[in-house]
Structure 1
């Protein structure tokens, strides 16, 4: 303390002492003023540390390293509570509430969970067009039979039917409606309408 600060009198820290029955005022030098202002800080932190229950009392151990660790954990808890209160410009929460919230967050810790990749949003037009594809009828297949839900068998190997839109002869159809023959041009218009 003798090597800290200057020997100037601190003007905003007067002290009164009763000497020979009379109260006398004097001012401390900077090192003594700072010491007297801060000497209770450690006691205040210890009071906060032991507020409802101290970590050292709960975690009973005689091993020196663990006792030091619990002391540092307790000081860190108090510092976190005080700095949180200072940051919010409010009074400090009770130590027990803070410890319970911190313990819950430690239980639900997700730091080691593998990251879940972000899935690109499914575009609706891709989904709608997924059911639409231009297909060709196989050999010996004719018109679509609605009752049996398959193409009728014919004797000619590649039968061309009229397109329902333009009337052109074709073997192609859209997968959404096999009973409606569509040429490639009309299929493009059909798929763009969706």
Structure 2
């Protein structure tokens, strides 16, 4: 089989049609599995040592033309200043957000270049423009009735789920010494006996369920 010869074999996997495209190289056969593409030759004529120049079939042409897109995208995302590296955070939510923001930044720059028909802006220049547009986004200045939400009143105190120390018990809202090491009382919701309470309501014994309901009631006022 001469170098540059192409053929394809069709198949189906889990209900999805695909083709295995094959092209003869001097010392092996290149095989690419794809759900898109044809054997139609396109692009420039490629030379091989001692072989007449030929065009790649569509799938092979696309492979060689776009195989560096991920690496190129990553390079644009990290150069000259990587947002993900300079934002020194170990909070996983921020790390994921930094990646998504940096990826979106590159995508927007490339998309803008494609639709405008001009070369992409330098990364830092585009980042400044993007930051300005985000800061001046008119979306946040809308006065639409459906967007107005009632503001929740601030609570006057902090909630902390607390456990009585050993050899203490409640007398009203006061903590007093106890002869028992871990005396318990029935929680306000009558679920079970516990030694826990909320810091904003001393003397009111609460289990986990009572505490959750208590926070909803207080914060929702």
Q: Greater Rg, structure 1 or structure 2?
A: 1
